[in-house]
Amino acid sequence: MKKALMWRDLPLTRQTVRPIMPFMNEQPDIKEAVATPPALIDPFGRAITYLRVSVTDRCDFRCLYCMPENQTFLPKKDILTLEELDRVCSAFVEKGVRKIRLTGGEPLVRRGIMWLVERLSRHFETGRLGELTLTTNGSQLSRYAADLAAHGVRRINVSLDTLNADRFARITRRGDLGKVMEGLKAARKAGLFVKINTVAVRGFNDTEIPELVAWAHGEGFDITLIETMPLGQIGGDRAEQYLPLTEVRENLEHRFTLLPDDHSTGGPSRYVRVKETGRRIGFITPLSAHFCDTCNRVRLTATGTLFMCLGQDDAVDLRTPLRLSRNDTLLHKAIEEAIARKPKGHEFVIEEGNTQGVLLRNMNVTGG
């Protein structure tokens, strides 16, 4: 009997989809994909052109604000296979999605992840996909940076909350700062543009943030600061961790001159330019300022559940239509129904004593 073809059987060639760019000081402008009109418009007239995919809920770290120490992960049978992830991402591309971000959990701990990256890169050739990117904790980056670049990935986000090795081990509960630094070096060598993501945590990195900004800018990286969001249980009080970015910004103003900057990626970040370094700082403030009006994204979990809003519970199961038929008609229909239900926005609050999080699912499930 003929054996079914698995992803592991398929050749993983290192094919250069786009020329690797030399290390750049400025974030590259990712070309708009071919002018196909966006097919997915939500009830508030927003075109949905950006899909974030959590390829696994697993992670080699246990960041204090993201998940508890004893996190249990999903059984393998519930997780979409790499072929299924390719099918669902490709269905979104067919429907007008122009940007895909792979995230998690830690996307680079998913076995065979480069097969998916290579498969998705075929959409660059048709011109339908403008950007394929990922958010990573950087622990595996030294191994994968060159392959990512070879398959057309041009910029990545690397999460880093401190430059102090002990503090890093404490906040990640098991991470090795040295490995992340090696990963960053490899990313630079491969010509990837890096943006650092830093979560502001009270009593942890509040006084270090100006230092982190100076370091990132010195390395040629932009940096985005993020407020903690109340997502899932973490085994502690979120109110204690919450540090409003208004406070962080005041602190930064003691050291830098922050100039207004109208740069936009269509995402939740609001930017300033630092006069002394010439580079940008992004601020993501889901709690102290909402960013929903221009939301262009939806999020797929590793089990195939589509969340139309990071901060709401309503979701649509795409795994069932995916597994019911080899043909994508049911899948396309489910995607259209999901977009028709995208809510206007979210209402996050963090209150003292609230250890549960407003939503039950942790960030590693929905994908940050």
Q: Per CB under 6 A, which of residues 60..99 are in contact with ligand SAM?
A: 65-66
Quick one: which of 14, 249, 59, 247 has its CA closest to 152?
14
Q: Which residues contact 138 (CB under 8 A, 6 or more apart)?
A: 158, 159, 160, 179, 180, 183, 184
Using DSSP's 3-state secondary structure scheme, residue 107 falls into helix
Distance CA 196, CA 220 (A): 10
- Give the span between the Cα atoms of 252 and 258, in whole angstroms: 8
Q: Which of 42, 86, 106, 161 binds ligand SF4 (CB under 6 A)?
A: 106
Query: Considering the rule CB under 6 A, would residue 364 count as an interface residue with ligand SAM?
Result: yes
Any contact of residue 61 with ligand SF4 (CB under 6 A)?
Answer: yes
Binding mask 86-105 for ligand SF4 (x = CB under 6 A): ------------------xx
Secondary structure (DSSP) of 194-251? EEEEEEEBTTTTTTTHHHHHHHHHHHT-EEEEEE---BS--SS-HHHHB--HHHHHHH
CB of 241 to ligand SAM, least distance (A): 8
283 near ligand SAM, rule: CB under 6 A? no
Q: Measured at the alpha carbon of residue 188, what is the angle toward residues 187 and 191, in degrees to the nearest 5?
A: 90
Per CB under 6 A, 145 contacts ligand SAM = no
DSSP string, 157-173: EEE---S-HHHHHHHHS
Q: Which of 71, 135, 205, 301 binds ligand SAM (CB under 6 A)?
A: 135
Q: Which of 33, 51, 55, 59 binds ligand SAM (CB under 6 A)?
A: 59
> Considering the rule CB under 6 A, would residue 66 count as an interface residue with ligand SF4?
yes
Taking the complex as a whole, how short is the minimal distance between the CB of residue 86 and ligand SAM, in angstroms?
A: 20
The token duo for 92 is 């979104």
Output the smallest distance, CB 67 to ligand SF4, in A: 5
Q: How many residues bind ligand SAM (CB under 6 A)?
A: 19
- Using an 8 Å Cβ cutoff, are 312 and 343 in contact? yes
Chain contacts with ligand SAM (rule: CB under 6 A): 59, 65-66, 103-104, 106, 135-137, 159, 197, 199, 226, 228-229, 231, 363-364, 368
Chain contacts with ligand SF4 (rule: CB under 6 A): 59, 61-63, 66-67, 104-106, 137, 159, 363-364
